Amino acid sequence: ETGVTQTPRHLVMGMTNKKSLKCEQHLGHNAMYWYKQSAKKPLELMFVYSLEERVENNSVPSRFSPECPNSSHLFLHLHTLQPEDSALYLCASSQAGAEADTQYFGPGTRLTVL
Amino acid sequence: GQNIDQPTEMTATEGAIVQINCTYQTSGFNGLFWYQQHAGEAPTFLSYNVLDGLEEKGRFSSFLSRSKGYSYLLLKELQMKDSASYLCAVSDSNYQLIWGAGTKLIIKP
């Protein structure tokens, strides 16, 4: 039990659909992250919210749009995705400013784009 | 550029010892993490090293040499449940994690 939950666990969508991924952390942390994990590749950091301030990764396509309404919730809005966006999307949280700033992960959403 | 290198795959025998190496080149260093990830599951935190030396935690130990840009994760008394991917990550000067691609560890009976 990591204290970070994600829904849905699996998602299949067409390229014209709009969907959202949800993440919730129950650890009292003040930073949240979205990562993309593709087979045999390093985790790719997509977005960071720290102390409710967004740190944007400029290499993320605009078809991915994050939203962080408060320190416990994080969303990733998806629209007009491409088949190469199929991957495991992981959410994580941490306590920014702590010595180790260890990130704790949710179980991920397995996304398939047809 | 920033880079983390670790072997793609390793195989070991149940009950044995295995060492998974990680080398890194990053802009700044604020610690090195090891995570375990079973197939289809979340990465889970194993260890954190910021000073040189060996940190032992039960069957798992992690070593760091900052001057060499090198770490290893040592797993003793291997069990079948240790079959997983092991991810090495370095916290850089901006406290962002730079990740390796992971080492898939296969345990055979």
Token pair for residue A77? 């809005």
- Return the residue of B nearest to A89 by Cα: B42
Token pair for residue A61? 């396509």
Cα(A53)–Cα(A90) distance, rounded to whole angstroms? 19
Q: Are B23 and B69 in contact (CB under 8 A)?
A: yes
pLDDT value at position A59?
Answer: 86
Mapping DSSP to helix (H, G, I), strand (E, B) and coil, where does residue A55 land?
strand
Give yes or no for A53 touching B (CB within 8 A): no
Q: Which residue has the tokens 């849905």?
A: A8
B96 vs A48: CB contact, 8 Å cut-off? yes
pLDDT value at position B30?
Answer: 93
Q: Which of A40, A90, A101 is facing B101, going by the closest CB pair?
A: A40
Low-confidence ranges of chain A (pLDDT < 70): 1-2, 56, 58, 98-100
Find how far residue A43's CA is from the centre of its chain: 11
- Return the residue of A nearest to B85 by Cα: A40
Give yes or no for A60 touching B (CB within 8 A): no
The rounded mean pLDDT for chain B is 95
Average pLDDT over residues B6-15: 97
pLDDT value at position A2?
Answer: 57
pLDDT value at position A56?
Answer: 66
pLDDT in tens, B49-85: 999 999 999 999 999 999 999 999 999 999 999 999 9
